[in-house]
Amino acid sequence: MRTHRRFSVHMQERPDPRAVELLKRLLDEGIELTFGPDLPGSPRYDLLVAGRPTERELDASASLGVLLIPWAGLPQSTRTAMEKRPHISVHNIHHNAAPAAELAVALMMAAAKALVPVDRRLRADDWSPRYEPDLSVLLEGRRALLLGYGEIGRRIAGACRGLGMQVTALRRRPERTAPECPDTILPPQALHDALPAADVLHIALPHTAATRGMIGAAELALLPADCILVNVARGPVVDEEALFRALESRSIRAAGIDVWYAYPKREDERTSTPPSRFPFGDLDNVVMSPHRAGAFAVRDVEEARVRAIASSLIAAARGEPIPHLVDLAAGY
């Protein structure tokens, strides 16, 4: 299909050749692509695909009206730059919602059934865990509390309900419902009232100034002793030391963690970087995952990313609403 007019897109990074080929196949005729980091001569693009755009990229084309961030999230530098340019709308894609939700459920199950320490012991020919009933938790009939009810949270909620769990979700706009509505939707102000009833606490909300440290020592102290915490959002949403102390003292039962507090900065650090200043690896009630919920560890995700980008570009070129408008004031 041809768009109603010529529509030009500049992508800050060039995807691999197979992704470029797929993108060109999916797009309407009339959508023109250029790739960076070097800008084309006499830049005139209507949409920029970039996670952290430079000042030059944002100002080079007088026709630029849309910034598409090719992932879910809003870097602070991008937020600051776009607040100065209210004429440019900002949008995300949510191509990795399914793998992130699947890993959240996997972490919940592994923590509830103590799979990691049980596996380790059976590898040493120790069958004792079979006769230790307190090692596992039955999830059916328990209550899951979701912090965040976006693309990822809705998928987690569906999986929890499929396991026979009751689901409560906290979201910034509780009046916005969805077809897969949980049993209860509450505003963020209800957090302290909801925590004591949470058998599993799933964290799947954006990292913003408002959510940083949202779960600290006081909030962890409100959780039941049998509670399992799962974090696939960002590490700093949960206070680092408070989480370690709660797990070390077993004031909560277990945790499944995919997002951390320290990351390798270079390729040669990938095999020698502790994820925290506290020794979470010494605890047998923690399932640790090296931030695998997103695009890096699932083969199908790159194709999903390309298809999501294509859908947004087509909508923009046709003058239709572009999905996932970012609220700069809220930070996501």
| Buried-state track 80-97, b at ≥16 Cβ within 10 A, e below 16 | ebbeeeeebbbbbbbbbb
Q: Which of 269, 270, 277, 303 is catalytic?
A: 269
* φ, ψ for residue 17, nearest 5 deg: -55, -40
For the chain, strand residue ranges (E) read 2-11, 29-35, 47-49, 66-68, 89-91, 143-147, 166-170, 184-186, 200-203, 228-231, 254-257, 286-288
Whole-number Å distance between alpha carbons of 206 and 74: 9
227 vs 3, 111, 283, CA distance in Å? 52, 10, 16
Q: How far is CA 53 from the centre of its chain?
A: 21
| Token code pair at residue 222 | 């409100």
* 209: number of Cβ within 10 Å: 8
Cα–Cα distance measured from residue 220 to residue 239, given in angstroms and rounded to the nearest whole number: 10
Rounded-to-integer distance, Cα 150 and Cα 128, Å: 41
Q: By the 8 A CB rule, do 46 and 64 touch?
A: yes
Give the active site residue among 44, 85, 245, 291: 291
Answer yes or no: 269 catalytic: yes
- Enumerate residues 6+ apart whose C-beta is below 8 A from 208: 330, 331, 332
Across the beta sheet with 200-203, what order do the strands follow? Answer: 184-186, 166-170, 143-147, 200-203, 228-231, 254-257, 286-288
Dist. CA 49–CA 329, nearest whole Å: 21
**Catalytic residue list:** 234, 269, 291
